[in-house]
Amino acid sequence: MRLQFYKYQGTGNDFVIIDNRQELFPKNDSKLVAHLCDRRFGIGADGLILLENDANSDFKMVYFNADGAEGSMCGNGGRCLVAFAHFLGVIGNETTFNAVDGLHHATIDGDMVKLKMVDVDEVREKPNYSFLDTGSPHHVQLVQNLEHFNVSKEGAKLRYGIYGESGSNINFVEQSGNDAFQVRTYERGVENETLSCGTGVTAVAIAMHQSGKTASKVVKVQTPGGKLTISFERQDDIYTNVFLQGPAVQVYKGEIVC
């Protein structure tokens, strides 16, 4: 089988994206997905995304983790898929699309994509960390000297030690200003550190506001792959109108024999 694909990245979080509106891609073949995401034997990516037709919105997002399993919501992946849909002419500068966690609204202006995330109605605050779901589950923990922190080792320890087989994404955070934070993330499904995580930085922004580390409702987050901005409102203890904004860029397109 010859498979045409596109490679996109959002602040270093990279994805293989395939136009599957004809429903030709074998979605049940988890080994194929894992192979395509493999950085040595395949294309290489943090995840694989299919763009499909949807009866109730402009398109549907189907997301797979790098290990081949279908995943929960991916914020940077969603932003990249919006850029891809715009490239194909499926949408203009504004869209509503369907994902595993429901409908998402987004706008695109050049390389910048602003994506509406799900509302967050619960932030569990523990003595040393917070836990919340922003479309995917996230552990948020403040640390010192983040630049030299062993994210892969400590992230794996928490991912399996606290959250078991189902797991959670693990975000390590260091505050750099009144409304600014640096973040490094260990992602389940990738089972390693990624350069950026959209649902992760969203979780960090909300957790830092909930814990009183920032009073701002517009939070800037620096990841190893680039800068993202998260904005939100808080109404009756619910975080709503949550938006994730940052660049989403096509890297290249190609064809692979598989």
pLDDT score of 85 = 98
pLDDT score of 1 = 85
pLDDT score of 155 = 97
Q: Is 188 annotated as a binding residue?
A: yes
* The architecture CATH gives domain 124-242: Roll (3.10)
Q: Is 65 annotated as a binding residue?
A: yes
Model pLDDT for residues 145-169, shown as the tens digit of each residue: 999 999 999 999 999 999 988 899 9
Q: Is 68 annotated as a binding residue?
A: no
pLDDT score of 258 = 87
pLDDT score of 17 = 98
Options 37, 74, 80, 258, the catalytic residue: 74
Looking at the chain, the domain(s) classified CATH 3.10.310.10 span: 2-116+248-257, 124-242
pLDDT score of 176 = 98
* The architecture CATH gives domain 2-116+248-257: Roll (3.10)
Question: Is 258 one of the catalytic residues?
Answer: no
Q: 110 exposed, middle or buried (CB, 10 Å; 0-12, 13-18, 19+)? A: exposed
Q: Is 240 annotated as a binding residue?
A: no
pLDDT score of 166 = 86
Options 37, 80, 197, 258, the catalytic residue: 197
Question: Is 37 one of the catalytic residues?
Answer: no
pLDDT score of 22 = 97
Residues of the chain with pLDDT under 50: none
